[in-house]
């Protein structure tokens, strides 16, 4: 159909919705990012790495970033009423993979390093919401060997949000209709079947529904 509404941009403006539906979704109450840099990170070289030859270098990479909520303290207004905002304290733990490289380019040994830190932010996080945190990217600065330690700088990008599962009223244009596939021949039956979804109820329900009858009407003279 030429006037069918499909996902994607609608350059000429949206037509009026067909109906208002109640759907269950994950609502994002707040969403923010934070870039955190931790320098002077030093990790002892394990004895199992042995005696390092002169000219040994090191490499550091981030293997995982985990985030957990330590506390969420509601922010009150002057009357002592919660505003919905909260001071949220997160514990971020970063795991590293550290390798020592000989002057000839051979990996002498690889070991793990871990560091943690607190991050406190203000979020719209009323009661009933949960806090999620992820790190989509990171960067590691220069790595140097100082005495018996490997030292480096790590920058972490954090995406933090407060969410809750809610029932939400949204205007809709009906159910999504799939486009026909072009990689297979036409099947000998209707695909997708019609109707594809159960019919939507019309509210309010009838106050005096008509009881169904199971009698078969008879036409013509009765013999």
Q: pLDDT of the chain along its 223 residues, tens only?
A: 445 666 666 666 777 778 899 999 999 999 999 999 999 999 999 999 999 999 999 999 999 999 999 999 999 999 999 999 999 999 999 999 999 999 999 999 999 999 999 999 999 999 999 999 999 999 999 999 999 999 999 999 999 999 999 999 998 888 887 777 666 555 566 656 677 667 777 767 777 655 555 444 444 444 4
Four-point Cα dihedral 104, 105, 109, 115, nearest 10: 130
3-state helix, strand, coil in the chain (%, to 5): 0, 55, 45
pTM for this prediction? 0.71
For 7-53, the pLDDT digits (tens) are 666 666 777 778 899 999 999 999 999 999 999 999 999 999 999 99
- Domain ranges across the chain: 24-169
Strand 149-172 with 19-44, pairing: antiparallel
């Amino acid at each position: 159909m030429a006037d069918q509404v499909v996902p994607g941009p609608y350059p000429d403006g949206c037509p009026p919705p067909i109906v208002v539906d109640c759907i269950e979704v994950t609502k994002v109450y707040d969403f923010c990012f934070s870039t955190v840099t931790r320098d002077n990170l030093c990790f002892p070289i394990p004895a199992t790495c042995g005696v390092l030859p002169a000219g040994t270098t090191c490499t550091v990479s981030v293997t995982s970033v985990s985030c957990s909520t330590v506390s969420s303290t509601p922010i009150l207004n002057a009357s002592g009423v919660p505003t919905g905002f909260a001071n949220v304290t997160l514990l971020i733990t970063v795991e590293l993979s550290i390798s020592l490289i000989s002057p000839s380019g051979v990996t002498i040994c690889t070991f793990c390093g871990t560091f943690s830190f607190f991050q406190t932010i203000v979020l719209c996080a009323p009661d009933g919401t949960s806090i999620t945190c992820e790190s989509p990217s990171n960067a590691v600065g220069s790595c140097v060997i100082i005495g018996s330690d490997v030292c480096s700088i790590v920058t972490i990008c954090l995406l933090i949000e407060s969410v809750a599962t809610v029932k939400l009223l949204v205007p809709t244009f009906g159910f999504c209709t799939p486009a026909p596939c072009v990689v297979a021949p036409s099947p000998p039956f209707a695909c997708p079947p019609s109707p594809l979804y159960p019919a939507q109820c019309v509210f309010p329900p009838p106050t005096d529904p008509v009881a169904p009858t199971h009698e078969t009407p008879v036409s013509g003279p009765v013999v």
